Amino acid sequence: MGEPKAPPGYPDEEFHQSLRPRDFGEYVGQGAVLEQLEISVSAARARGEALDHVLLHGPPGLGKTSLAAVLARELDVPMHTSAGPLVPRTGDMVALLNSLARNEILFIDEIHRLAPAVAEVLYPAMEDHYVDIMVGEKLGAHSLRIDLPPFTLIGATTRADLLTGPLRDRFPLVHQLEFYSIAEVETVLARSARVLRVHLDPDAGGEIASRARGTPRVANNLLRRVRDYAEVRSDGTIRRDTALALLEIAQVDGQGLDRFDRKILESLLDNFSGGPVGVANLAATLGMDNRTLEEVHEPYLIYRGFLRRTGKGRMITDRGARHLGRAASGTLFP
Ligand code: ADP
């Protein structure tokens, strides 16, 4: 029970599904969030009630979907899975809500991408367990109320700031997921290696973990690539030298930055004298879409102190410039 069905169009979903932690015990890290959710789950179970609605936010790959599935399993209820772009009309949302049985979970990934009118359907559903639909035509048109059973909405988003105030306010439980420590990523990798039945030397695991941007999804993706490399180039065992060779080919540097991260920093220095520059302008210069820049790359660059968000736009920091071997003014270090 509780296993999410993959929404179509998500690359690699099957691979990541196979590696998902199944319960609180297997879920690595995020200690404070987990502790609070364990209490909420125990209380809901003891009362036989639906868990309060949960909003999980944080950069992609930190385990929001996995945590939703863990909650479903711990509550022992089915989870229905969808995503903002997959629910384009109010009628689709009504149908989703209407399919829920008592205490079940509706997981909506990328909930910030729901159209405002579709999100509005959720307001009375979340608060008072009903939806209003319009039936009939012209003069005969009238609204019909459909009662819903108690249910739990779990929303996941990389951009909590884009949620409307009323939607955000209807989540009693709001939790932000943080980047993982290197040791936590090593634990994720060791478990993934066991599931995939590959031999991962601990020092190879440590090397991959230190370059995985504190993100389990990135770590698992690197592990998959290193596994392929080890199988093709050697006996399949992942040793430190194999991991290093693949990381070199994948152009992941010692701090875990990929070539797009470095291009962002380079462009800030070379095209905008270090900034500040608006995100749309920076993204256009790089031929990248705003969303990828803001949601995938920026959070880690900011977390590592390589880039700063200011009221006037993005700026490279001294640390970011030094990472490129340059001064913040753009000149090469002597
Ligand atoms: P998100 O929904 O935040 O984008 P996912 O839940 O899809 O992230 O996680 C991406 C991958 O990382 C999955 O393969 C999952 O197995 C792994 N993962 C994420 N969080 C954890 C965790 N806390 N412990 C173990 N594996 C994790």
Assess whether 158 carries a catalytic annotation: yes
Assess whether 217 carries a catalytic annotation: yes
d(CA 49, CA 68): 17
| pTM score | 0.91
Ligand 1 pocket test: pick from 217, 222, 296 the residue with the most ligand atoms within 8 Å of its Cβ.
217
What strand order describes the sheet that includes 54-57? 79-83, 105-109, 152-157, 54-57, 173-176
d(CA 154, CA 42): 17
Q: Are the beta carbons of 158 and 57 closer than 8 angstroms?
A: yes
Angle between helices 240-249 and 216-233 (to 10 degrees): 110
Q: Are the beta carbons of 34 and 71 closer than 8 angstroms?
A: no
Q: For residue 235, what are its two tokens?
A: 């006996």
Distance 114 CA to ligand 1 centre (A): 23
Cis geometry, peptide bond prior to residue 60 (ω within 30 degrees of 0): no
Q: What pLDDT tens digit does each residue of the chain (334 aa) get?
A: 444 444 444 557 788 888 999 999 999 999 999 999 999 999 999 999 999 999 999 999 999 999 999 999 999 999 999 999 999 999 999 999 999 999 999 999 999 999 999 999 999 999 999 999 888 888 888 989 999 999 999 999 999 999 999 999 999 999 999 999 999 999 999 999 999 999 999 999 999 999 999 999 999 999 999 999 999 988 889 999 999 999 999 999 999 999 999 999 999 999 999 989 999 999 999 999 999 999 999 999 999 999 999 999 999 999 999 999 987 665 555 4
Residues 6+ apart with CB under 8 A from 192: 19, 219, 220, 223
CB of residue 158 inside a 6 A radius of ligand 1: no
Nearest atom within ligand 1 for CA of residue 30: 23
- Model pLDDT, residue 140: 86
Give the residue among 154, 155, 80 at the shortest CA–CA distance from 113.
Answer: 155
In the structure, how many helices (H) and strands (E) does the chain have?
A: 15, 9
| Residue identifier of the C-alpha nearest atom 19 of ligand 1 | 63
